[in-house]
Structure 1
């Protein structure tokens, strides 16, 4: 049976000489894996392969069976035509980071319309944002994605509760005995970033690349503490370079 759904491409792997194995976060079925045949030649990708770049948002007609680990796509086309996400080096690096982070969190193939809508909106906002907003966008996405997986940080920072305990996901009034915590300026900035509801508000944050890098590493630590087998992120170092 075929189904019509939107999907966000998370990862693409070459298979054989002409095919791709594509991981897609679909609106109807959650994260799914698809075999896409005949979109490459032995020497280079065809125009059809361009549809399956990470962060692409597609309209799909797919074959789906609950008992199969891999499915096939009958038809595909652009659901969104980005202006810059797939072509601008900085925004594409940010989008790739977002897709890797999302994939590491999606452990089960379950539909989650709210999460899908959040990710689609985030990519659209990244596409149209300023350079300053884009530079802070990974911090916004990393903090707010946690809400959909049940471990959003509690924003109870004040002059007393000034240590962010990453194991507990909350601000406390003393330094934890373990090494997984944020303090000082970075704790205060995390609290401010948690209050950001729309990406355009990131324009108010004048952060240098050292602070951004340190915060992203702390947030990576936070995910590793709360997502089983989270591992390392390949896109994180790329992001450090371009930002």
Structure 2
């Protein structure tokens, strides 16, 4: 079946000498993997790899067969051309990190248009924004809504947040309870949209500690979650 499908590139992997396997999150079918045969063999083929940079937003004309694990692309074009996402070193570090996160947590081979449009719009915001050092924190926090473990924003005047249960609490229940700067930032970010993110000022140490807490939150709620290898690069860039 030939069809058009808006897609966000999550990862690409060299296969054999000249082929690529590209994993995308698509608007119509969730996670889909595509085989690009011979794309690394010629200059003309190599020029097409620009479409498959991490988190590129593309429209694919595909030959899709439901029972196959790998599908084939007949035509591709950009849905949105980034101005800075792949050229700004700081944004590139965020892109590398988030593409690894999304590759890890998005498993379903079924569509979720709300999630697709959230990712699409958030990346376009990042592409156009000049102040973005906290972008990945808010992105991950908002992503939890679509993954089913968004922090419950009731009783947010309580002095603790339980990472295991995802709720604010009046008492400290041990290793899963957080307080202090991480709690304060969590409360602020829960009430913030991307367009107001630049009003939140934190230093590199606070950013790193809050990110570590968020990743631990993901680990607690997603059994197969692994810390991204690109975390060290991200921390070094934003140190």
* TM bracket (short chain): over 0.9
Alpha-carbon shift at residue 180 of structure 1 (Å): 2.6
Equivalent residues of 2:134, 2:207 under 8 A apart: yes
Residue 157 of structure 1, CA deviation: 5.2
Is the CA contact 2:6–2:57 (under 8 Å) kept in the aligned structure 1?
Answer: yes
Alpha-carbon displacement from aligned partner over 1:86-110 (angstroms, at most 9, x marks no partner): 1111111112222222222212211
Task: Select which of 220, 235, 240 maps to 2:230.
Answer: 235
Q: Name 1:180's counterpart in structure 2.
A: 176
- The residue that corresponds to 2:133 in the other structure is 135
Give the Cα separation in 2 of the matches to 1:158 and 1:110: 34
Distance 2:233 2:112 in 1: 29
Q: Relative to 1, partners in 2 of residues 1:27 and 1:93: Cα closer, same or farther, differing over 3 Å?
A: same
**In 2, distance between residues paired with 1:238 and 1:35?**
29
Once the two structures are TM-superposed, the CA of residue 49 in structure 1 deviates from its matched residue by 1.1
The answer to whether the 8 Å contact 2:156/2:187 transfers is no
Query: 1:61 touches 1:76 (CA, 8 Å); kept in 2?
Result: yes
Q: CA deviation at 1:181?
A: 3.0
Following superposition, the deviation at residue 156 of structure 1 comes to 3.2
Matching residue of 1:225: 220
Which ranges of 4 or more aligned residues in structure 1 deviate by more than 6 Å? Answer: none
| Cα shift at 1:116 | 0.4
1:162–1:188 Cα contact (<8 Å) kept: no
- Compute the displacement of 1:42 (Å): 8.2
Between the aligned partners of 2:93 and 2:183, the Cα distance in structure 1 is: 26
Q: 1:107-159 deviations in whole A, cap 9, x for unaligned?
A: 221100000000000110000001x3x10000010000010111100123545
Q: Give secondary structure in 1 for the equivalent of 2:172.
A: coil
1:61 paired with 2:29, answer no
TM-score (norm 1): 0.93
Give the CA RMSD over aligned residues.
1.7
What is the TM-score when the length of structure 2 is the normalising length? 0.94
**Larger mean Cα displacement after TM superposition, 67-76 or 23-32:** 67-76
Query: SS where residue 168 of structure 1 aligns?
Result: coil
Q: Alignment partner of 2:76: what SS? A: strand
Is the CA contact (8 Å cut-off) linking 2:34 and 2:72 kept in structure 1? yes
Partners of 1:157 and 1:210 lie apart in 2 by 27
Does 1:169 find its partner at 2:172? no
Q: Could you tell me which residue of structure 1 aligns to residue 108 of structure 2?
A: 108
Question: Where does residue 146 of structure 1 map in the other structure?
Answer: 144
1:1-243 matches, cutoff 5 A? 1-41=1-41, 46-130=46-130, 132=131, 134-156=132-154, 158-159=156-157, 161-177=158-174, 179-197=175-193, 199-243=194-238
